[in-house]
Amino acid sequence: MSEPTAPSVPPTPPVPLSALLAREDLGLRQIAGPPAPDTVIHWAHTSEMADPYPYLLGGELLLTAGVHVPEAAGAGAYFEDYVSRIVAAGGAALGFGLAPVHDTVPRALVAACEAYGLPLLEVPPRTTFSGVARAVWQLMAQARLAELRRVTEAQQSLAAAASRPDPVPSVLRQLAQRLSAHALLYGPDGTVIASAGRAPVPDTQEALRKLTAVVRPDTAREAPASATDALADTQLAAYALGGSSGFVLGVATRRREPADHTIASVAAVLLSLLTGEHQSGAGAARSSALVRLLLGAAPAEVAGLLGSDGRWLVVHARPEHGTPDPVGAAALGAALGSPLIDLGRDVVRVLVPAGREPAAQPGWTLGVGAPAEPEGWPAADAQAARALARARATRAPLVRHGVRPGLTELVPCADAEEYARALLAPLAAGPALVETLRTWLSLHGSWDRTAVALDVHRNTVRQRVTRCATLLGTDLDDPDVRMELWFALRDR
C-alpha cells in the first residue's frame, strides 16, 4: 500500500481534547504530551497494528490496547518508531487501554510521546474503546449543531444589517462583531471605503491590501473568488464582490473557525448587491424618484427615473417554504431583472419593466399583473395579488393575470359598476366575504384550493360562502348566478 505524502484531516468539526477529558463517565487521564486545550481531534480509530501509518487520515485519536507490543519492546526503539509513525501520519493523540494486556502504560511509550509531542491518554479498564468513540461522535455532533446555529444567527443579523439605512457600514460592523475581526471594504482602485472592528497593525493592513489584489479582476488572468493568507498569528481573507466590479472585502482575524468562511461569504454576497447598486448609479436615480414622490410628484412624473419606457409589471411572490428574507428577495429581484423590491411579511413585490417577461423561479410561487402605466399600478398590484393566490391554490409556479376583450366590454363601465354595487350591496359590510366569494368562484367552487389561496381553514371557506348565499338570497349552485356574480365582482 502506498503511503500518502501528507496527512489529510477529515472535513468534520474538530473536538477539543480537553472536552473529551472532561467527560467523567470515561475517566480518561492525560499522562504525556502538550496541554489538552492545544489539541483537537476529528475522530477516534482503534488499531492494533504495529505500523498504523497506512490506516490513518490525520486528526485521529488512535486507541490501542498494546496487543501489538512485543515483550522486549521496553528495551529497544519500538515505541519511538511506533509514535513517530503516528505523528508522521498526522495522528492527534494516542489512547492506551489498561487490561487485559497491560496493567500500566509502558514507561518507554510515555517517554516517546513526550519526545514527539503526542498527547497520550490512559484509558481505564472500565471504559471501552467503543464508548470513547461514541463520546467523540457525540461531541462532534454538538460542535456541528453549534456551528450551524452560529451560521444561521450570523446570516439573520447580516441580512437585518443590510436593510438598515446605512447598509454597508452596518454589514461590516456586524461581520466584525460576529468574527471578532477587522473588516474592510476596498474600492476598485484599492482604497479603503469603509471599515469596522479594531484596526490591525500596519504590517497586517499592508498584507491584507496585497491579498485583495489577488482576487481583484485582471484582464491578464482569471482571478479567484476568494483568497486566504496568514501573517504571524493573524489570519487574512479576501473576497471579490460582484464579479468585475472591483470591490473587495478584506477580513483579518486572530483565529479562523470552521464557520468563519461561510459567514464572511454571506457578507460578501450582501455587499456585492449593495456595491453593485452604487457602482451602476441606478440607486441614485431611484432615490431621486422616491424623494420626488414624497414631495408630491405623481408616479407618472418620476417613472422615467426608474429606467423603463413607462409600462411596468407588478409581480407578487412567495417562497415555497418559510417566509421571505432580504437576501432571498434581493436574489429574486436580480433574477427578474429589477432592483425595485418591496419585502413584506409574507410576500415580496417586484416592479419589473414590461419588456422583461417574468419567468418561473425555483423555490418561488409568482403572480403577475397586466402591464400598466404608473397610474394603473394600484390595479396591477391587486391583479398580481389575485394571480399569486390562484397560483398557490393550483400549485402552479407562475400565474399571469389574463386581460383580453370579453362580454364585459359590451356594457358601459359606469352601468356595470352601478349594477355590481347594487347586486353586492348585502356583502358591503364584510370585505372578507367578498374576497372569499371572488376566490371561490375563480377556483370553480373548490373548497380546498380556496382555503389554500386565502390561508384559512376549509370550514371557514364553507361558512363564508354559505353566509354570502344567505345574504344575497340566491342559489350559488346555479351556473347563471355564479356567472352574474363573477361579472359583478370583476366590475366592483
Closest CA to 6 of 43, 81, 58: 58
pLDDT at 232: 82
Q: What's the whole-number mean pLDDT along residues 144-169? A: 86
Burial 52-76 (b: 16+ CB within 10 A, else e): bbeebbebbbbbbbeebbeeebeee
Rounded to the nearest 5°, which phi and psi values hold at 81?
A: -65, -40
Backbone angles phi, psi at 148, to 5 degrees: -65, -40
pLDDT at 286: 66
Output 223 or 267, whichever has higher pLDDT: 267
Q: Per mean pLDDT, which range of 45-49, 217-221, 363-367, 417-421 is the poorest?
A: 217-221
Looking at domain 15-138, its CATH architecture is 3-Layer(aba) Sandwich (3.40)
Residue 399: pLDDT above 80? yes
Architecture per CATH, domain 407-491, reads as Orthogonal Bundle (1.10)
Residue 328, pLDDT > 70, answer yes
Q: What is the pLDDT of residues 342-364, one digit of tens each?
A: 888 889 999 888 877 888 888 88
CA atoms of 112 and 96, how far apart (whole Å):
13
Look at residue 407 and tell me whether its pLDDT is greater than 60: no
- My answer on whether omega of the bond before 217 falls inside 30° of 0, hence cis, is no
- Across 7-21, 79-93, 155-169, 420-434, least confident range: 7-21
pLDDT of residue 226: 86
| pLDDT bracket for residue 51 (50, 70, 90) | very high
pLDDT digits (tens, 9 = 90+) for 114-131: 999 999 999 999 999 999
Could you name the CATH architecture of 163-280? 2-Layer Sandwich (3.30)
- 324 vs 219, which has greater pLDDT? 324
pLDDT at 272 (0 to 100): 83
Alpha helices in 122-184 (DSSP H): 129-162, 167-179
Q: For residue 268, give the nearest of 150, 363, 175, 391 by alpha carbon.
A: 175
Q: Rounded distance, CA 291 to CA 226, Å?
A: 38
Domains 15-138 and 163-280 share a fold: no
Residue extents of the structural domains in the chain: 15-138, 163-280, 308-400, 407-491
**For all residues of the chain together, what is the average pLDDT?**
84
3-state secondary structure of 441: helix
CATH number 3.40.33 is the correct assignment for the domain at 308-400: no
Average pLDDT over residues 146-173: 87
C-alpha of 443 from chain center? 35
Output the pLDDT for position 1. 38
For the sheet containing 247-253, what is the strand order? 192-196, 181-186, 247-253, 234-241, 226-231
- Give me the pLDDT at residue 412, please: 65
Identify which of 369, 267, 272, 266 has the alpha carbon closest to the alpha carbon of residue 314.
369
Helix (H) or strand (E) holding 472: helix 458-472
More confident residue, 306 or 364: 364
Name the pLDDT band for 103 (thresholds 50, 70, 90): very high
Residue 231, classed as helix, strand or coil, is strand
